[in-house]
Amino acid sequence: MSHPLLDVDRIDGPPGPFLASIGEVFARFGMHTQDSGNESYGLHIGGRRFFVKTTDPDVEVYCDHSARVELLHNAARVYASCPHPILTKLHRIVECAHGPMLIYEWVNGKLLRGSGDPQSPHERFRQLPVAEILAVLDAVYDLHDQLATRGWIAVDFYDGCLIYDFDHREIHVVDLDHYRHGPSRNDMGRMFGSSRFMAPEEYELDAVLDERTTTFTMGRAAAIFLSDNSLERAPFRGDDALYEVVTRACRDNPDERYPTMKDFFTAWQEARQQ
């Protein structure tokens, strides 16, 4: 028996009415929750839940609809090249009047997007025992090590790409739409992303973006989750060996950082074993 969602390649109309006709739309994420121009749905069908990501052609944001369509296809290419266990499973792409619908497995948890609210998921996560935070960073770094071996450079990675299930201590990574394949040049000036995670070259037109950019972003993740967003030693909750790895990764000069994600991850693992 065919599945009304997983065995479909194309529909004629827009996504919303189609999804409502085949299951229960229990969540909808549009301009009120994000500024990307994307529109996404939580769909319950046949005892399973899915996350369906598409884009709205009528919304005016930082890039036009055709560019947003390409970003969704790019996200699918990232997943296809590296189906890592912490990446939310992508089942298929369904073409519709609005462009591609990416059909993901639904995952439980909370987005760790930064917030000043002490009760926010972000702050709750930062207050977890160090061992739990380190386990999450280990998994995120393993993912990016594998992505780097396949040529991907992290762009627009930040805490809003992380969903953490506090009950089961599971991390999931989403929204890697802007990742670039192979070294490239900054063609924007100030690129997309959170300033808390961005490397200096992500602000400089024509600067090189390569694996050293990824190592900076990964180092910033540790500075944010294990410290107070600074690179000062006192608030950092790891030991000296981990602190040295993080501060080298976050140097302003790319030539002074780890040259590859593999080098960074190896140094991180060695520090973890001390």
Percentage above 90 pLDDT, the chain: 90
pLDDT at 62: 72
Whole-number pLDDT of residue 53: 96
Quickly name the fold that domain 15-105 has: Phosphorylase Kinase; domain 1 (3.30.200)
CATH number of 110-272: 1.10.510.10
What pLDDT is recorded for position 31? 60
Question: Per-residue pLDDT for 66 more than 60?
Answer: yes
Residues 6+ apart with CB under 8 A from 31: 37, 56, 59
Average pLDDT, the chain: 95
Q: What are phi and psi of 70, to 5 degrees?
A: -65, -35
Residue 224 has pLDDT above 90, yes or no: yes
CA–CA gap between residue 50 and residue 44 (Å, rounded): 7
**What does the domain layout of the chain look like in residue ranges?**
15-105, 110-272
CB contact set of 62 (below 8 Å; sequence gap of 6+): 35, 37, 192
Task: Tell me what pLDDT residue 33 has.
Answer: 58
6-38 pLDDT, tens per residue? Answer: 999 999 999 999 999 999 999 998 765 555 678
Place of tokens 């739990």: 132
**pLDDT tens for each residue of 95-106:** 999 999 999 999
Q: Which residues contact 148 (CB under 8 A, 6 or more apart)?
A: 211, 214, 260, 261, 262
Query: Phi and psi (nearest 5°) for 207?
Result: -70, 155
Say if 15-105 and 110-272 have the same CATH topology.
no
Alpha helices in the chain (DSSP H): 15-22, 65-81, 121-126, 130-149, 211-225, 240-249, 261-272
